Structure 1
Amino acid sequence: MLNGYLPIFSQFGEDIFASDVVQACIDVIATEISKLRPKHIRTDNNDVQTIVNSSINRLFKFSPNELMTTRDFLEKTIWLLFLNLNVFIYPTYDIVKDSSGRKRKEYTGFYPLNPYQVEFMQDNSGKLFVKFFFRNGSNYTLAYSDVIHLRKKFSVNDVMGGGINGQPDNDALLKVLQINDNLLQGLEKTIKSSMTVRGILKMNTMMKEEGLDEERKKFEEKMKNNESGILPMDMKGEYHDIKIDPKLVDKDTLDFLDSKILKNYGVSLPIISGEFTDDQYQAFYERTLESIVIGLGQSFSKCLFTNRELDFGNEIVFYQKDMMYLSMKNKLEIIKIGGEQGIFTDNEKLKILGYSPIEGGERRTQSLNYINRDIIDEYQVKRGKME
């Protein structure tokens, strides 16, 4: 072209993370998951849950390892999960004895691993092992039961998420991303073409460089001062217009391609932009986040506790601590219902509204309009006698 610009489209490549839309989808999912509060709890036979004073809760409170806060840890875990459709977390621990002389694990850290290759093996007894290969050249073989393993799209491979070889199968998504990238490149080239050379001024005489420069300046001055749209020329100059007719891709086509990418990750445009309603966020949570939250709890519990500990009600639960996405109307409705049932303390009600706690705010009140259904008949008989 006249400006030296070549209208050649670069290849998108095989990395889906080169797409800004894909990155935006994963980022919003990872950001929401990073708000969770993991807790080691124990549920007794009466379904009463208590938070356990354990090394696990100590680590989960602020820093699962020396490099990360809890938020960082959860965010990195989700990014690795979507990058590889598998993520491995190694819990470090010491073996200690309790007062009864029984051995137990005292956990000292949780580390999300980023190997470039993993291999699964079994010994003669059928016990499963996993071998990790890292980019620094090192490799380690660990018992699979000692590693927390989360998977997405767990289908045709027996142990790994993704495709038959345990790798992400992005062929279908790549086709959409490549089309989207081509259209964006075309849009960029259209904008550039509209700002390139618009015409050629042909001089019908042989002139020196100084003369050409003088003629050019005269021509530019005429274009600046012209208001009628008609440019007068003398016999020496001849102007040839270059017809530029760039074609723009319509908005509906671009929106359609973006929506296909968003649907692949279960994320809607209002969630990406942050302009969502309560119902839209609830749909996002149920469609995309809830299965991840459940998977986190089950994977951690399966690895960290023995069968006996699980039988005694030990488990890891990832709680949704904040409800700040709710509208004020819905927050007040939750406080009203929860308050009448005696679910929330006064400080918990203040926290939902975004206020700081107050002294004595651990008080828990309940409406007198509710009664234990087991004593309804007795209550009604007594009340009837009183009347």
Structure 2
Amino acid sequence: MAVKDFFKNIFSNSSSGSTQKQYARFLDGNSPVFTQFGQNVYASDVVQMCIDVIATECSKLQPKHIRVDSDGMQRNVKSSFNRLFKFAPNELMTTRDFIEKVIWLLFMNYNAFIYPTYEMRDDGRGNLTKNYTGFYPLNPTDVVFLQDSIGRLFVELHFANGDKFTLPYNDIIHLRKKFSVNDIMGGGADGQPDNQALLKVLQINDTVLQGVEKAIKTSLSIRGILKINTMMDDDAQKKERDKFEAKIAGGKAGILPLDLKGDYVDIKPDPKIVDKDTLEFLQSKVLNNYGVSMPILSGDFTDEQYQAFYEKTLEPLIISFGQAFSKTIFTDREIDVGNEIVFYPQKLLFTNTKNKIAVADILGNRGGLTNNELLALFGYPPYEGGDVRNMSLNYIDVKLAGQYQLKKANMKEAEKNVQD
């Protein structure tokens, strides 16, 4: 099956109803028709490297469907979501591929749309629930928001091959970047990336780099001038120049013989190249726009530098992913009883051996990790019977601490009475 037909089949079971629809009306008065989206800033290698770093780090996230009980404890749930995101949320992508693609779409368009496919099933108690069969990142060329006679919001997605599909907006996972002046889309007022300020910096940076390239070429191409002290026509000048070049090529001793007709004037190359501070300033303007520092870009960072990168750039993305997925996947009732999607950053935060030892010491001693989980933290395979939790006797349940101390106090009081 062709990829084109494959994506058509994804939407074949979706139904938007046959009721009459009109353009959705937004409070800002703008038209609800959005075109995807300017891409000229992505010709810059620095921009691509910044997005690639963010996408690569986010691809290490571990999406999980959990349930938080009335005591605030998180419980793992056996669900179709966890089954899909363990390895492959759809037939074309692994979980890592999926997250990386969504990040690229989000940073390129300031909006990312994900369509979850599902089947309705009876849970055995007479309730219909959604059994998810796949999650697909979409890359539409145009997006139109519509509403029906009772105010329900729909999104009409147009694709590059001419296909279009109208879907309930509640069925679409919609991620936004720089969600500000537009009522429903990320980016600027027109629902597109507002890259004007960044474009100016990139244009200056490109002009500087072109100037450096030309200066280097010029310094390597002209090394001297041959002054011919007689009047010659063009053919004669060419013959004299050819003879001079032949002498240069054959001058093994480094001594160039000339007759009285010619003088050689040496040109000492001194190209004026933009100083290092200016180049670094221009590059830092681009890096700061994406929240990526030079140590993060090069991979030579300290724990403190990575922590700053995580808190400033990655953590807001991780939070928005969890909230957007939870909002679309679960009903209000399911959210009320504690269901949510969490994108766990464990593989991001514990990247070096020192941090792994620290988390193993803290969580391992308190029974927070099984023996096999501790082995996995350091890259070792599990062993049979290793799914047990051990804890140090130096710690005690806070509920038992008061009883323990009271018992100790009573024992001391009893010992004192015996001695008296």
Cα deviation, 1:31-65, whole Å, max 9, x if unaligned, reads 01111111111122122322222211121111111
Give the aligned partner of residue 26 of structure 1.
51
Q: Does 1:217 align with 2:246?
A: yes
Give the aligned partner of residue 226 of structure 1.
254
Alignment of 1:28-107 (within 5 A): 28-107=53-132
Q: What amino acid does structure 1 have at the position aligned with 2:245?
A: R
Kept after mapping to 2: 8 A contact 1:56/1:107: yes
Q: TM-score, normalised by structure 1?
A: 0.89
Q: CA deviation at 1:244?
A: 4.3
Alignment match of 1:373 (pick from 386, 391, 398): 398
Instruction: Give the Cα separation in 2 of the matches to 1:14 and 1:58.
Output: 35
Give the aligned partner of residue 257 of structure 1.
282
Cα deviation, 1:128-160, whole Å, max 9, x if unaligned, reads 111111111111111100100000100000000
Q: Does 1:165 align with 2:184?
A: no
How many residues get paired? 371
Instruction: Give the Cα separation in 2 of the matches to 1:212 and 1:379.
Output: 102
Alignment of 1:120-131 (within 5 A): 120-131=145-156
Instruction: Give the Cα separation in 1 of the matches to 2:311 and 2:391.
Output: 30
Kept after mapping to 2: 8 A contact 1:91/1:110: yes
Kept after mapping to 2: 8 A contact 1:14/1:174: no
Give the aligned partner of residue 305 of structure 1.
330
Q: CA deviation at 1:232?
A: 5.2
Q: CA deviation at 1:215?
A: 4.5
Give the aligned partner of residue 368 of structure 2.
343
Kept after mapping to 1: 8 A contact 2:226/2:265: yes
Decide whether aligned partners of structure 1 residues 355 and 187 sit closer, same or farther in structure 2, where only a CA change above 3 A counts.
same
Give the aligned partner of residue 10 of structure 1.
none
Instruction: Give the Cα separation in 2 of the matches to 1:63 and 1:49.
Output: 24
| Structure 1 stretches lacking a partner, 5+ long | 1-12
Which 4+ stretches in 1 moved above 3 angstroms? 202-216, 219-222, 240-245, 323-327
Q: CA deviation at 1:372?
A: 2.7
Instruction: Give the Cα separation in 1 of the matches to 2:392 and 2:372.
Output: 17
Instruction: Give the Cα separation in 1 of the matches to 2:88 and 2:39.
Output: 35
Instruction: Give the Cα separation in 1 of the matches to 2:227 and 2:159.
Output: 65
Q: TM-score, normalised by structure 2?
A: 0.83
Alignment of 1:215-364 (within 5 A): 215-222=244-251, 224-226=252-254, 233-242=258-267, 244-322=269-347, 326-364=351-389
Q: CA deviation at 1:220?
A: 4.0
Q: What amino acid does structure 1 have at the position aligned with 2:306?
A: Y
Q: What amino acid does structure 2 have at the position aligned with 1:226?
A: G
Decide whether aligned partners of structure 1 residues 279 and 263 sit closer, same or farther in structure 2, where only a CA change above 3 A counts.
same
Moved more, 41-50 or 234-243: 234-243
Instruction: Give the Cα separation in 2 of the matches to 1:29 and 1:209.
Output: 58
Instruction: Give the Cα separation in 1 of the matches to 2:403 and 2:67.
Output: 35
Instruction: Give the Cα separation in 2 of the matches to 1:209 and 1:252.
Output: 45
Instruction: Give the Cα separation in 2 of the matches to 1:329 and 1:208.
Output: 73
Decide whether aligned partners of structure 1 residues 26 and 212 sit closer, same or farther in structure 2, where only a CA change above 3 A counts.
closer
Moved more, 89-98 or 355-364: 355-364
Moved more, 205-214 or 19-28: 205-214
Give the aligned partner of residue 4 of structure 1.
none
Moved more, 27-36 or 336-345: 336-345
Give the aligned partner of residue 14 of structure 2.
none
Q: Does 1:154 align with 2:182?
A: no
Moved more, 353-362 or 134-143: 353-362
Instruction: Give the Cα separation in 2 of the matches to 1:211 and 1:284.
Output: 64
Q: SS state of the match for residue 106, structure 2?
A: helix
Instruction: Give the Cα separation in 2 of the matches to 1:175 and 1:208.
Output: 48
Kept after mapping to 2: 8 A contact 1:89/1:113: yes
The Cα RMSD (Å) is 2.2
Q: CA deviation at 1:97?
A: 2.1
Q: SS state of the match for residue 390, structure 2?
A: coil
Moved more, 261-270 or 43-52: 43-52
Q: SS state of the match for residue 380, structure 1?
A: helix
